[in-house]
Structure 1
Amino acid sequence: MFPFVTRRGTKRIVRRAASRIAKALTPAGSGTRKAARSSAAPSGGSTLAEMRAKMRAGAAPEGPAPGRFVEVDGVRVHYIARGKGRPVVLIHGNGTMAEDFVLCGLLDRLAARYRVIAVDRPGFGHSPRPRHRLWTAAVQAGFLDRVLTRLKVENPLVVGHSWGTLVALALATGGSRELRGLVLLSGYFYPSRRADVTLSAPLALPGFGDAARSLIPRAMGRALAAQSFRHVFRPQPVPARFTARFPVEIATGATQMRAATEDAATMNNAAAVMEHRYRRLRMPVAILAGDADAVVEAEEQSVRLHREIAGSTLKRLPGIGHMTHYAARLQVERAIDGLMKPGAGTRTP
């Protein structure tokens, strides 16, 4: 789950944002209009108008996209689809995008035998994140359901990684769509005390969060992203192909940074809403977790979920960190293939 900001860095950004907003709201009568405009401008040279433009930002990034687009609820959603056959849907985690499944090699390998669809969740990659709704895991699951309907996807196997497991479970427990099963990678399923949730709360506030995030210089954003990449891949090194090809400029852009902080701030509530529904799941569920995960505690999350869902399988991955689809891709493929076998997609109540 990335990008993240340190506790000290967050406090500094929040203080600076509060100061800038206070200056911007200072009545012109307290000084000359020119002085008021000058005091509202940050030292980096941005004007108040530019700051407001950043605060309104919700559009997808410009530039070529690796996949296709479909419009749902007035939102132009980006997705990557390859292969033919029975459908497998991939849901990415926080701070990343559908392209992540291409870089790790999972999407293309699965596409040799299945129809594989990876969707940029709202605000990530090349999908915008409209501000007129609160994009909780449940709302994103309902939105994804309508995307899959537009793409004529029926009875898919849904694979979620990290924060994406919350969307996968919301889709499964919502009951609006028949699923072949779930494969949950490095997931977060139960609320807990997390520093990233606490630190993201002020940065997720409308208006204030936009102003605070606009204070992060682009160079600092790239440095924080690099630090975050090392953290989520630990103890494995960051793969060279990821370093070379992952779209850092998109990941640290205004829209995705807003989406990432909002998702981090709402993850505990999303888990709390759903945790009492897990026992009612009546579909095949495969759970994979690295025992060296520095982001999510496997014992508190994946092992506990396995105990709650009757008939689920759990694969503990020795020495593997959070990015299981990179470091343990073959094991992930086997779990998917296992649930895609004829007869594997059914379970007796």
Structure 2
Amino acid sequence: MTLKKSVRNLLVVVAIVLTLVVVIQWRAGAREAQANAAYPAQGRIIDVDGVPVHVLTQGSGPDLVLIHGASGNLRDFTIDFADRLSDRYRVIMFDRPGLGWSGRPSDTKGAWNGASETPLEQAALLQGAADAIGVESPVVLGHSFGGAVALGWALNRPEETAALVMVSAVSNPWPGKLGWYYTVNGTSWGGALVVPPIVAFAPQSAVNSSIESIFEPQPAPEGYATDVGAELTLRRATLRANTQQVNQLRPHIVDMSKRYADLTLPTEIVHGDADTIVPLEIHSDPLSRQLPAAALTILPGIGHMPHHVAADAVIEAIDRAAARAGLR
């Protein structure tokens, strides 16, 4: 092969790669624009040291903070759950950093970024927004990954947090490794090179399958993907934030768990014994012994989403926590 032909072939390959990159980025951008238009912010955007934090409030009464899990946003609580509480609480819902309509600190932004916000840092950012709207001595509920952030909230401000409600919450180190989705996309190169094609081409069937797996063994509510705005997670910056936070969570949990004994506030723990995503025996069972004032409620046959499929039990736990804290 002559040098001239080799150069020509190389140029053809470069042209094909560049074309593919342009198509992927264009399609990803188009899908993001559609998601942004379909699911605008429902509440206020509060500036916390230059970082936008999306917060939605409804109702009146003692303050109740709700913190969503991985791959989610505050819409997860607006489908029905918050409405059932707003007659007796001021319900305060946040988008966690990088998800929904909340931004990220400058040191964790960018396509090639490999860093993420710790649960303590996420809690501090949400607490800054809470301060701006006058939140005082709240009951703080965290679901799944949001449970780690709720624990971070209490560790940051143990004297200013009335009670905790942990729902299918991540709280303790787990054995083994996460799947490729997180270990690849949670890296700097994965976030830059693998995330855009996923955003550009992920079919709705994959989204629906993921949602069904999250709810198992219960079925997902009809229309859940639309109601929660699942397309908001399929944005490049959001997907990077989500996978980086999950991929880097375990060592932070190890460090935080050493301080659990210091948290003496009333804590209600609710967990289904059929949860295979955040298993009861790894997380909530030991947590119930690590926290001095914890009460564990086990839901037989319930999976990872009890605030949807067993909402009465979660609401009762919130009321118990508020009563134990002297708020009811």
Give the TM-score, by structure 1 length. 0.81
Q: CA RMSD in A?
A: 2.7
Contact 2:142 2:166 in 1 (8 A): yes
Over 3 Å counting, the alpha-carbon distance change for 1:219 and 1:137 in structure 2 is: same
CA displacement 1:229-265 (0-9 Å, x = unmatched): 1111001101014144221221211122111101111
Report the Cα offset of residue 126 of structure 1. Answer: 1.5
Letter in 1 for 2:322: M
SS at match of 1:76: strand
Measure the CA separation in 1 of the matches of 2:107 and 2:276: 34
In the alignment, what sits opposite 1:290?
272
Which of 332, 335, 346 in structure 1 is aligned with 2:314? 332
Contact 1:141 1:167 in 2 (8 A): yes
In the alignment, what sits opposite 2:64?
88
Contact 1:138 1:171 in 2 (8 A): yes
Which of 55, 64, 86 in structure 2 is aligned with 1:111? 86
Structure 2: segments with no counterpart, 5+ residues: 1-5, 109-115
Matches within 5 A, 1:154-233: 154-175=136-157, 178-196=160-178, 199-216=181-198, 218-233=200-215
CA displacement 1:197-235 (0-9 Å, x = unmatched): 664133122244221111226442533321211111001
Letter in 2 for 1:159: L
Which of 297, 301, 309 in structure 1 is aligned with 2:291? 309
CA displacement 1:15-47 (0-9 Å, x = unmatched): xxxxxxxxxxxxxx9669964751432547527
In the alignment, what sits opposite 1:120?
95
Over 3 Å counting, the alpha-carbon distance change for 1:343 and 1:266 in structure 2 is: closer
SS at match of 1:196: coil
Contact 1:231 1:294 in 2 (8 A): no
In the alignment, what sits opposite 1:69?
45
Give the TM-score, by structure 2 length. 0.86
Structure 1: segments with no counterpart, 5+ residues: 1-28
1:46 aligns with 2:28: no
Which of 128, 135, 146 in structure 2 is aligned with 1:153? 135
Contact 1:89 1:117 in 2 (8 A): yes
Measure the CA separation in 1 of the matches of 2:314 and 2:199: 37
In the alignment, what sits opposite 1:18?
none
1:245 aligns with 2:227: yes
Letter in 2 for 1:40: V
In the alignment, what sits opposite 2:3?
none
- Name whichever of 276-285 and 337-346 sits farther off: 337-346
Contact 1:69 1:77 in 2 (8 A): yes
Measure the CA separation in 2 of the matches of 1:95 and 1:243: 12
Contact 1:85 1:114 in 2 (8 A): yes
Over 3 Å counting, the alpha-carbon distance change for 1:217 and 1:307 in structure 2 is: closer
1:276 aligns with 2:258: yes
